[in-house]
Amino acid sequence: MSVLTAARGPQVRWRWRPSTVVLYALLVILAVFYLLPMFAIVVTALKSFAEVSRSSLWELPKAPTLAGFTAAYDKLAPYFQTSVLLVVPATLLSAMLGSLNGYVLSKWKFPGANTVFALLLFGMFIPYQSILIPLFQFVSSIGLYGGVPGLVLIHVVYGIPICTLIFRNYFAAVPTELLEAGKIDGASVLGIFLRIMLPISIPGFVVVMIWQFTSIWNEFLFAVLMTIPPQQPITVGLVNLTGGLLQHYEIQMAGALLAALPTLVVYIVLGRYFVRGLLAGSLKG
């Protein structure tokens, strides 16, 4: 992860010491704690219902079967599809708004720009319960209650602060000379954005889009309140699944894995960008 490994100068050559064994032992103990739920998921999901009821969580499957996955997939497929239809437009729109705001708030500071930024940022920390009642009324009144479009709107709006923050930090690091050069060439504010800033902001887009993708995919409060069947996202699907099949832990675990898979894959492939988004959320980090 480049964010976490940068800025330390040349790597000190590592030497073997007796304390190394202790360090590795501690690392392994921690790893066991973090991987324990993964173990529980995989081992349980591969068992049959009969075996789940008979054996403890820690026994490996004697007759591995994909029955749990098939059952979970049958139930979750429509929710999964809804989540995809939700996440893609919400992520793209968030990133577009965020890049506009970040560009303006870092390179074209009008009087009071910092205050506007602070007021925007506050929206990222509020407990959403504090806006839920009027939001529910509003979304109902414009006829968007119950489905994906309403939820897209909600995620785009409440994603503005974090996307603005990440892009503002990104553009702040871009040399102002680039902007000056554009001005001298007679480019307008929007022209500089479209022709100079956007092309160099791909890494910013990657960070923002991964962050929004993960957050929206995993979100539950808006999802459970603002949608009704058949247009409910995957987190609601998983809760419905587990509520309906209390003893079927093999289906629950297979479902949990299916629900987690997209964000997990993104983390494994593009983890360092995910970490950048994570640290950006703490402002100073």
Partner 1 sequence: MATATAPPAMVERLPRSRSSRPWSWERVTPILMIAPSVVLVAIFVYYFIARTAYTSLTRWRGVVPDYTFVGFRNYARLFQTEKFQADIVNTIHFTAFFLIGCLVLGLGAAVLLDQKLPGSIIFQNVFMFPLALSFVVTGTVWRWIFNPNYGLNVLFQNAHLGFLKSGWLTDPHTALNSLTIAAVWQMSGFCMAMFLAGLRGIPDELREAARVDGASEFQAFWRVVFPLLRPITLSAVIILGHISLKIFDLVFVMTFGGPGYSTDMPGLNMFITTFRQDLVAQGAAIATVLLLMVALLIVPYLIWNLRGETER
> What part of residues 72-131 is at the interface with partner 1 (CB under 8 A)?
97, 100-101, 103-105, 108, 110, 114, 116-123, 125-131
User: How far separated are the first and last CA of the chain, in Å rounded?
Assistant: 15
User: Which residues in 32-71 contact partner 1 (CB under 8 A)?
Assistant: 33-37, 40-41, 44, 56-58
Distance between CA 210 and CA 223 in Å, rounded?
A: 19
- The correct pick among 76, 148, 166, 238 for binding partner 1 (CB under 8 A) is 238
User: Which residues in 194-213 contact partner 1 (CB under 8 A)?
Assistant: none
Q: Do 204 and 100 meet the contact criterion of CB atoms below 8 Å apart?
A: no
- The correct pick among 70, 180, 200, 229 for binding partner 1 (CB under 8 A) is 180
- Kindly state whether residue 283 participates in binding partner 1, applying the rule CB under 8 A: yes
The pair of three-digit structure tokens given for residue 198, joined into one six-digit string: 């956007």
Distance between CA 76 and CA 215 in Å, rounded?
A: 19
Q: Which stretch binds partner 1 (CB under 8 A): 63-71, 144-152, 195-203, 250-258?
A: 250-258
The minimum distance between CB 248 and partner 1, in angstroms, equals 11
| Count of residues engaged in binding partner 1, rule: CB under 8 A | 107
Closer of 164 and 201 to partner 1 (Cβ): 164
Closer of 8 and 63 to partner 1 (Cβ): 8
Closer of 204 and 255 to partner 1 (Cβ): 255
The minimum distance between CB 66 and partner 1, in angstroms, equals 19
Closer of 131 and 196 to partner 1 (Cβ): 131
- The correct pick among 88, 157, 174, 206 for binding partner 1 (CB under 8 A) is 157
The minimum distance between CB 259 and partner 1, in angstroms, equals 6
The minimum distance between CB 188 and partner 1, in angstroms, equals 6
The minimum distance between CB 110 and partner 1, in angstroms, equals 6
The minimum distance between CB 5 and partner 1, in angstroms, equals 7
